Amino acid sequence: MKLETLAIVGVGLIGGSIGQAARERGVASHVIGIGRRLETLQDARALGAIDSYALDLARGVAGAELVVFATPVHMIARQVLEAAPACRAGTILTDAGSTKVRILQDLSGRLPQAVHFVGSHPLAGSEKRGPQHASAQLFVDRLTIVTPTPATQPEAVAKVTWFWQALGSRVQAMPAADHDRVLAFTSHLPHLVASALAGCLPGGLDPFTAAGFRDTTRVAAGDPALWASILSQNRESILAALDNLSGRLDRFRESLRENDVPRMEELLQEGKKNRDALDR
């Protein structure tokens, strides 16, 4: 199987990586990039991420079999609704957004019959931005979650599943609500916490940070606008995860106040057990 034309809306780190992987792996005969900034599109072409580009969304998607939206989550539903009427019958639309429920809600019942949207989220990325940080290997051995609804056409799910697998990813389907609850714990809360830790570092202490601080806060270098939009779209699940974390911080606080060393060790042991399991 090979796509004739793949369209990628947004050719930053994720969109650029999709393009590079699709071209290197022969997943599509032609890759067109669509964006608002000419310079980024030119960079993406120079970097081998796309074959051609368009500044106009409707024109860019007109000839595509598959369109992937790799733009900030608050823009995806709006762009899908704008692009859909310009698509050929049978075109499949998907995305790479870090939240799913809100996007599906915003699309529900509003798409033309002849096009099919399947939500996707490749669990891959970086705190870096732009096609110059793209990599054809970004999705290899990573997991992509797809979030079909009962109304989603099975052929569209199969094609989107094939697509991410063809880029090197594993694929798992789950309901969008499950996705958002899971990602609140595995990605959105850690981002918020890393940012809060970095944000409360008093001035002048930079020279006294070592690998531990740098690792723990690395993701805080991510783009604030992109992440504010993710936090906002998944705020209920993130608030629930944050309450859970705060409860655990309160237990640490209590053990410190009472100088209860066995309790501290027990709490640390629980964290270690979960963390060690990830490397097994």
Q: Segment 182-221, which members bind its own copies (CB under 8 A)?
A: 182-183, 185-187, 189-202, 205-221
Q: How far is the CB of 34 from its own copies (least distance, A)?
A: 25
Rounded CA separation 89/109 (Å):
17
For the chain, state the CA radius of gyration. 21
Using an 8 Å Cβ cutoff, are 66 and 6 in contact?
yes
Total site size for its own copies, rule CB under 8 A: 86
| Residues of this chain, 10-29, that bind its own copies according to CB under 8 A | none
Q: Determine if 141 is a binding residue for its own copies (CB under 8 A).
A: no
Q: Which of 69, 117, 139, 227 binds its own copies (CB under 8 A)?
A: 227
Distance CA 256, CA 237 (A): 29
> Does 274 interact with its own copies (rule: CB under 8 A)?
yes
Q: Is 37 in the site for its own copies (CB under 8 A)?
A: no
User: Is 229 a binder of its own copies (CB under 8 A)?
Assistant: yes
Residue 270 contacts its own copies per CB under 8 A: yes
| Whether 264 contacts 252, CB under 8 Å | yes
Q: Does 269 interact with its own copies (rule: CB under 8 A)? A: yes
- Which residue number, 130 or 190, has a Cβ lying nearer to its own copies? 190
Q: How far is the CB of 265 from its own copies (least distance, A)?
A: 4
At 181 the three-state DSSP class reads helix
Question: Residue 40 or 169: which CB sits closer to its own copies?
Answer: 169
CA distance 127 to 29: 30
Question: Rounded to whole angstroms, how far apart are CA atoms 50 and 66?
Answer: 14
Q: Which CB atom, from 102 or from 159, has the smaller least distance to its own copies?
A: 102
Q: 225 burial class (0-12, 13-18, 19+ CB within 10 angstroms)? A: exposed
Q: In this chain, which of 39, 141, 154, 275 binds its own copies, going by CB under 8 A?
A: 275
Q: Which is nearer to its own copies, 9 or 241 (CB)?
A: 241
Kindly state the smallest distance separating residue 25's Cβ from its own copies, in Å.
Answer: 21
Q: Are 99 and 234 in contact (CB under 8 A)?
A: yes
Beta strands in 132-201 (DSSP E): 143-146, 170-173
Least CB distance from residue 110 to its own copies, whole Å?
22
What residues between 109 and 128 interact with its own copies by CB under 8 A?
A: 123-126
Reading across the β-sheet that carries 143-146, which strands appear in turn?
120-122, 143-146, 170-173
